[in-house]
Chain A
Amino acid sequence: MEANNSRRDFLKKLAIGGGGVVILGQYHFLFANEAKNGILKAIIVDFDKCAGCQTCETVCSAFHHPVEIDGEMLKGLGNPKLANIQVYHYNPDMDIPSVCANCPDSPCVENCPSTPDINGNKAIYRDKLTLAIRTNHGICISCGTCADTCKDQRTGVIKMNPLTNHPEHICDHCGGDPQCVKYCPYGALSFQEVDIEKTYFGMSPTQIAEELFKRYYTTQEVIHG
Chain B
Amino acid sequence: MDKIFGQYGVILDINLSTNKINKTQISKIDLKNYLGGRGLGMKILWDRIKKPGIDPLSPENIIMFMPGPFSGLPIPSSSRTTIVTKSPRTSPINKKYEHSSTISYANMGGFFGPEVKFAGYDGIVVTGKASSPVFILIEDDKVQIKSAESYWGLGTDSLDKKLIEEYGKNYQSCYIGQGGENLIPYASVLNTAARAAGRGGVGAVMGSKNLKAILVKGTQQPNLAKHKMYLDLLEKTRTAFQEDKTGGVISWRTGGTADALERSSDNGTMAVKNYREGTFKEIEKINTKAARTQIWKRDFACFSCQLACKKSGFAKGAYGGVVHDGPEYETGTMLGANLLISDLEGLNKMIYICDDYGIDIISTGGVLGFLMECREKGLIDLDFLDGVDLTWGNVDASIEMIHKIVKRDGVGKWAAMGVKALAKRIGQGSEEFAIHVKGHELAAWNVNTNASSMMITYGTANRGACHLNSSNPVRQNTNALRDSLGACSFAGSWYKGDISYRNFIEAITGAEQSDDEFNLIGERIFNLEKMFNLREGFDDKDDHLPERFFKDAHTYGKGEGKLATHEDFTKWIEAYYAERGWDVKTSKPKTEKLSQLGLDFTLQS
Contact = CB atoms under 8 A, between A and B. Distances in A.
A74 interface: yes
Nearest to B317: A220
A95 B300 CA distance: 8
A5 B220 contact: yes
Contact of B9 (A1, A94, A217): A1
A86 B222 contact: no
A135 interface: no
B74 A78 contact: yes
A186 B304 CA distance: 11
A88 B168 CA distance: 9
Interface stretch (A50-58, A99-107, A110-118, A193-201): A50-58
> Which secondary structure dominates where chain B touches chain A?
loop
Nearest to B142: A7
Contacts of B193: 91
A64 interface: no
A151 interface: no
A89 to B, nearest CB: 7
Given A51-B301, A55-B74, A185-B306, A93 B219 contact: no
Contact of A224 (B157, B161, B224, B296): B296
Contact of A217 (B74, B160, B302, B323): B323
Contact of A1 (B8, B111, B303): B8
A91 B296 contact: no
B140 A7 contact: yes
Interface stretch (B197-205, B308-316, B479-487): B308-316
Contacts of B292: 224-225
A92 interface: yes
B231 A91 contact: no
B299 interface: yes
> Which secondary structure dominates where chain A touches chain B?
loop
Contacts of B296: 224
B302 A53 contact: yes
Nearest to A95: B300
Contacts of B316: 220
Contacts of A6: 140-141
A7 B296 CA distance: 41
B120 interface: yes
A90 B164 contact: yes
B308 A186 contact: yes
A169 B586 CA distance: 62
Nearest to A47: B298
A175 to B, nearest CB: 19
A42 to B, nearest CB: 21
Nearest to A93: B312
B73 A92 contact: no
A75 B231 contact: yes
Contacts of B169: 86, 88-89
Interface in B247-267: 253
A6 B140 CA distance: 8
Nearest to B159: A91
Interface residues of A, number: 45
Contact of B297 (A52, A86, A224): A224
A1, A53, A54, A59: residue with the most chain B Cβ atoms closer than 10 Å: A53
B122 to A, nearest CB: 12
Nearest to B73: A77
A216 B304 contact: no
Given A67-B227, A69-B227, A88-B169, A223 B308 contact: no
Nearest to B168: A88
Given A5-B219, A78-B74, A91 B161 contact: yes
Contacts of A217: 297, 312, 314, 323
A27 interface: no
B124 to A, nearest CB: 16
A122 B530 CA distance: 67
A79 B228 CA distance: 17
A91 B314 contact: no
Contact of A53 (B5, B8, B298, B305): B305
A10, A93, A95: residue with the most chain B Cβ atoms closer than 10 Å: A93
B241 A7 contact: no
B570 interface: no
B22 interface: no
B74 A81 contact: no
Interface string A137-157: 000000000000000000000
A74 B306 contact: no
A148 B325 CA distance: 36
Given A53-B308, A217-B323, A224-B296, A81 B118 contact: yes
B476 interface: no
A102 B160 CA distance: 33
Contact of A51 (B10, B74, B141, B299): B299
Contact of A3 (B73, B194, B222): B222
Given A58-B304, A69-B228, 17 more contacts: A1-B10, A3-B220, A4-B222, A54-B111, A55-B304, A77-B224, A89-B164, A89-B192, A90-B164, A91-B161, A93-B325, A95-B300, A183-B238, A185-B238, A216-B297, A216-B298, A224-B296
14 contacts: A1-B8, A10-B220, A51-B299, A55-B306, A69-B228, A79-B220, A89-B111, A92-B312, A186-B301, A217-B312, A217-B314, A220-B316, A223-B297, A224-B293
- List 3 tightest A-B contacts by C-beta distance, closest first: A58-B74, A92-B323, A53-B301
